[in-house]
């Protein structure tokens, strides 16, 4: 059955005008004149036999029909854009784009990527960082590493690493007038905070420690910034298993006491089921799982 579709240029003009509620701003975005946008929209309205905009003296408003129409047009144009970008990438078969969180990328993934390049020089890895869930159908992303419960319907999901949470600090804090020997000694030290679900209040409660103000100390948005502050001896951070494994292994950080709070969440490798067995995705997923197994096999030194 033949599709009954209006002009693509008219749809682009309408969608841009609807987003900006301005023919002038839509014209600037599409690099055409305001008159061209107006002409395209008028042609679309004539073709549909429906008014999409209410043209006021100094304002543009969508009609009810326009409001109903624009989400589907935006979705269709986004899909066309993503498909076209993917097609135009000549290296699509050998370039793998993975998205993950800033701290996981900085503390665990990036330091290990050289080993993947040695094993698979034919695959180029691009790393992007974001905390939001990716839409694989619209975005130019092959794989995601996410922190959660592993519930991603329609996806190939592999648990990468569980996570335990425990205090870490620079070795220098084990010395001085108030050396860290027991959790009660935390009252004499600066607590470093990040934007994670498990915080100092939760850890102190789990450890049964009283008399320590869990709210004091500086706040950092990302775990890797807290890690860096701890490395500089600025205070005591809550270390997150995988993210401090390397710093513990080489002695840049230490665990002053051996009390770990198991996290409810874990790290997962996620990709569409339909793309899970492509050569590049399979190679990268298997490498990730092997690296994670090695990380988890090493004792996190106390």
DSSP string covering 225-260: HHHHHHHTTS-BEEEEHHHHHHHHHTTSSB-SS---
Q: Residue 260 in contact with residue 165, Cβ under 8 Å? A: yes
| pLDDT value for 301 | 46
> What average pLDDT does this structure show over 124-146?
88
Q: Residue 16 in contact with residue 37, Cβ under 8 Å? A: yes
Q: Does pTM top 0.95 for this prediction? A: no
- Phi and psi angles of residue 105, each rounded to the nearest 5 degrees, phi first: -65, -50
Whether 173 and 235 map to the same domain: the answer is: yes
What is the distance between the alpha carbons of residues 63 and 65, in angstroms, rounded to a whole number?
Answer: 5
Q: Is residue 302 part of a domain?
A: no
What is the distance between the alpha carbons of residues 105 and 147, in angstroms, rounded to a whole number?
Answer: 12
> What average pLDDT does this structure show over 171-194?
91
Whether 168 and 247 map to the same domain: the answer is: yes
- As for how many domains the chain has, the answer is 3
> What average pLDDT does this structure show over 189-211?
89
* Assigned token pair, 37: 């946008």
Report the phi/psi class of residue 15: left, alpha or beta, with left for phi > 0 and alpha for psi in -120 to 50.
alpha
What is the distance between the alpha carbons of residues 183 and 259, in angstroms, rounded to a whole number?
Answer: 9
What is the distance between the alpha carbons of residues 279 and 94, in angstroms, rounded to a whole number?
Answer: 9
Q: Lowest mean pLDDT: which of 75-79, 106-110, 132-136?
A: 132-136
Distances (CA, A) of 105 to 77, 98, 99, 182, 187: 31, 10, 9, 32, 32
Domain end marker among 87, 109, 139: 87
- Phi and psi angles of residue 243, each rounded to the nearest 5 degrees, phi first: -75, -20
Q: Is residue 78 part of a domain?
A: yes
Residue 89 pLDDT class (50, 70, 90 cuts)? low
End-to-end CA distance of the chain: 69
Q: Is residue 53 part of a domain?
A: yes
Whether 70 and 116 map to the same domain: the answer is: no
**What is the CATH number for 72?**
1.10.10.10
Whether 30 and 118 map to the same domain: the answer is: no
Whether 137 and 271 map to the same domain: the answer is: yes
Whether 183 and 156 map to the same domain: the answer is: no
Segments forming the whole domain that contains residue 55: 8-87
What is the distance between the alpha carbons of residues 82 and 190, in angstroms, rounded to a whole number?
Answer: 47
**What is the CATH number for 122?**
3.40.190.10
Q: Residue 103 in contact with residue 243, Cβ under 8 Å? A: yes
Q: Is residue 2 part of a domain?
A: no
Q: Is residue 214 part of a domain?
A: yes
Residue 173 makes CB contacts below 8 A (sequence gap 6+) with 179, 180, 189, 233, 236, 256
Cα–Cα–Cα angle for 138, 140, 144, nearest 5°? 95
Which one is predicted more confidently, 139 or 281?
281
Whether 14 and 73 map to the same domain: the answer is: yes
Which one is predicted more confidently, 65 or 221?
65
Whether 253 and 196 map to the same domain: the answer is: yes
Q: Residue 281 in contact with residue 155, Cβ under 8 Å? A: no
Residue 131 pLDDT class (50, 70, 90 cuts)? confident
Domain end marker among 49, 67, 87: 87
* Assigned token pair, 234: 């600025």
Residue range 64-79, pLDDT digits in tens: 999 999 999 999 998 8
> What average pLDDT does this structure show over 49-72?
91
Q: Is residue 147 part of a domain?
A: yes
Q: Is residue 105 part of a domain?
A: yes
Whether 156 and 270 map to the same domain: the answer is: yes
Whether 148 and 183 map to the same domain: the answer is: no
């Amino acid at each position: 059955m033949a599709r009954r579709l209006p002009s693509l240029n008219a749809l682009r003009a309408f969608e841009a005008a609807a987003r900006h509620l301005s023919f002038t701003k839509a014209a600037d975005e599409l690099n055409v004149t305001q008159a061209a946008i107006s002409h395209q929209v008028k042609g679309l309205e004539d073709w549909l036999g429906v008014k999409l905009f209410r043209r006021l003296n100094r304002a543009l408003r969508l009609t009810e029909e326009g409001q109903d129409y624009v989400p589907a047009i935006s979705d269709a144009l986004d899909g066309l854009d993503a498909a076209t970008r993917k097609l135009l990438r000549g290296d699509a078969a050998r370039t793998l784009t993975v998205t993950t969180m800033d701290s996981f990328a900085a503390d665990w993934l990036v330091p290990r990527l050289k080993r993947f390049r040695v094993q698979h020089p034919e695959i180029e890895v691009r790393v992007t960082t974001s905390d939001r869930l990716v839409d694989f159908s619209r975005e130019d992303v092959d794989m995601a590493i996410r922190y959660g419960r592993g519930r991603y319907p329609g996806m190939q999901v592999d648990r990468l690493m569980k996570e335990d949470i425990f205090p870490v600090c620079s070795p220098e804090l084990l010395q001085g007038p108030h050396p860290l020997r027991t959790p009660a000694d935390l009252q004499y030290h600066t607590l470093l905070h990040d934007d994670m679900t498990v915080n100092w209040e939760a850890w102190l409660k789990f450890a049964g420690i009283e008399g320590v103000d869990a709210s004091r100390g500086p706040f950092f948005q990302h775990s890797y910034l807290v890690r860096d502050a701890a490395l500089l001896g600025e205070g005591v951070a809550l270390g997150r298993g995988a993210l401090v494994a390397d710093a513990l292994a080489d002695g840049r950080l230490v665990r002053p006491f051996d009390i770990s709070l198991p996290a409810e969440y874990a790290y997962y490798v996620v990709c569409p089921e339909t793309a899970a067995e492509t050569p590049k995705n399979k190679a990268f997923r298997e490498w990730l799982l092997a690296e994670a197994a090695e990380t988890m096999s090493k004792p996190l030194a106390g």
